[in-house]
Amino acid sequence: MNILFIGDIFGKAGRKIVADHVADLARARAADLVIANCENAAAGFGVTPRLVEEFLALGIDVLTSGNHIWDRKEIIEYFPKEPRLLRPANYPGGPGRGGYVGRPRSGVEYGVLNLQGRVFMANTDCPFRTADRELETLPASCKIRFVDMHAEATSEKQAMGWYLDGRATAVVGTHTHVPTADERILPKGTAYITDVGMTGPYDSVIGVTKETILSRFLTQMPAHFDAAEGDVWLAAVLVQADPETGQALGIERIRLRGD
């Protein structure tokens, strides 16, 4: 079973490269399941119901998110209507869920779990204990278990990889928007990468226009963050897994340049 995971889709530029390439990429890589992190899809901040529907219509099966998920007020009411949109499971309250169980085109049952780190981030519930609880609720028949660990600190993401080794098919990191080159299969069969990287404009500082961020660093004054547009890349990983055991067989980084 091949699982394609697309890293943080940022703003209009990120949405366009996904719209242009996701179907071809999924076909070329024989992806049975496509997951994407969409928390920065709406101009860098959150996601709207309309954008969620556009992503699902492109063939993305499940959407994960993170700390920006509550940025657009309209998403709060939308959550009960769309179980394929996840927010981190360890938020102490709020609508929506952090886990989803489905069956893709190939018919293999799968679970997706979205977690958020606590180091240099909001004070959510413990992501490790939440992972224990959420994995426990998955049916035993569900062997494919994919985890998006949305976190700032590389240490916290690595720790989650080790914590879930042998219990998840893959633990992939998101949020920092910079792809890391440490993809590997951990000893008990979990595919791991610290950060998949941003799908969006790299002529930027993690997606935002360079000028805005530089002025912020130089003056420490508040500034309106505008999404950048240039040098657009799609960042993803392809995880190959054994549907019988749920163990990962491979993980490959994919980087694709926009037109």
Q: Which residues are catalytic?
A: 68
Which distant-in-sequence residues (6+ apart) come within 8 Å of 29 by Cβ?
Answer: 2, 4, 238, 254
User: Residue 87 interacts with Fe ion (CB under 5 A)?
Assistant: no
CA distances from 227 to 47, 54, 76 (A): 14, 19, 23
Instruction: Establish if 104 lies at the interface with Fe ion (CB under 5 A).
Output: no
Instruction: Give φ, ψ of 194 to 5 degrees.
Output: -70, -40
In a 10 Å sphere around its CB, with 0-12 CB exposed, 13-18 middle and 19+ buried, how is residue 118 labelled? middle
- Name the minimum Å distance from CB 34 to Fe ion: 20
Least separation in angstroms between residue 71's CB and Fe ion is: 10
Interface stretch with Fe ion, choices 30-38, 130-138, 172-180, 202-210 (CB under 5 A): 172-180
Under the binding rule (CB under 5 A), the answer on residue 72 touching Fe ion is no
By the 8 A CB rule, do 88 and 66 touch?
yes
Which of 64, 156, 73 has its CA nearest to residue 118?
A: 156
Q: Which residues of 62-77 are buried (b: 16+ CB within 10 A; e: fewer)?
A: bbbbbbbbbbbeebee
For the bound state, the minimum distance from the C-beta of residue 15 to Fe ion, rounded and expressed in Å, comes to: 17
Q: Among residues 66 and 246, whose Cβ is nearest to Fe ion?
A: 66
For Fe ion, the binding residue among 44, 66, 161, 189 (CB under 5 A) is 66
Residue 9 beta carbon to Fe ion: minimum distance, rounded to whole angstroms: 12
Between residues 15 and 175, which has the closer beta carbon with respect to Fe ion? 175
H or E element that contains 131: helix 127-137
64 binds Fe ion (CB under 5 A): no
Binding of residue 127 to Fe ion (CB under 5 A):
no
175 binds Fe ion (CB under 5 A): yes
- Give me the residues that bind Fe ion (CB under 5 A), please: 66-67, 175
